[in-house]
Amino acid sequence: MRTRRKAREVALQVLYQLDALKNINAEEAVDLFWGNFEALEETKEFSSILIEGAWNNRDSIDELIISLSENWSLPRMSRVDKSILRLAAYELLYCQDIPPKVTINEAIDLGKIYGSENSGAFINGILDALYEKIQKKGPDHINDANTEQL
């Protein structure tokens, strides 16, 4: 399995755990996961970046997801879909070295594998809207200080 795909799968699992437990921080969750599983160092590093980035920026990411979700509130979304959306939104907003199409395709694939029958299409719709919004604003407008302005 490709290193980055495996890292995204790990990130999904840990983000799901964080969303379910709410009494553990991202760093502790990462340490707990890697205390029980083995992987290449590159997988560990990339998954940690994704997990900590998505979790620590979840308030602004969640606002974006909600703004792009017609007739869906965050509590109505499945934890799997919500975790995939947070992960992919973090990549689109903060990981400039990853092509957006790769991020979106990987998120859709994760949704098809781990989500419900409709997860892939749901995730695709929201991420396409987010990507379109990012393109209109330009890459220079994407940072911690103004993410909520997108």
Closest CA to 88 of 35, 124, 112: 124
Structure token pair of residue 34? 């890697």
Give which of 71, 81, 69, 12 is closest to 46, Cα–Cα: 12
- Tens-binned pLDDT, residue by residue, of the chain (150 aa): 589 999 999 999 999 999 998 789 999 999 999 999 999 999 999 999 999 999 999 999 999 999 999 888 888 999 999 999 999 999 999 999 999 999 999 999 999 999 999 999 999 999 999 999 998 876 455 444 344 444
**Tally of domains in the chain:** 1
pLDDT of residue 72: 85
Burial of residue 1, with CB atoms counted within 10 A of its CB: 0-12 exposed, 13-18 middle, 19 or more buried: exposed
Distant-in-sequence, close-in-space partners of 53: CB < 8 Å, separation ≥ 6: 90, 94, 95
Q: 56: domain CATH number?
A: 1.10.940.10
CA angle at 98 for the pair 95 and 101, rounded to the nearest 5°: 120
User: Residue 20's domain spans which residues?
Assistant: 3-149
Full-model pTM: 0.89
Check residue 79 and give its pLDDT: 96
Identify the pLDDT of residue 48: 96
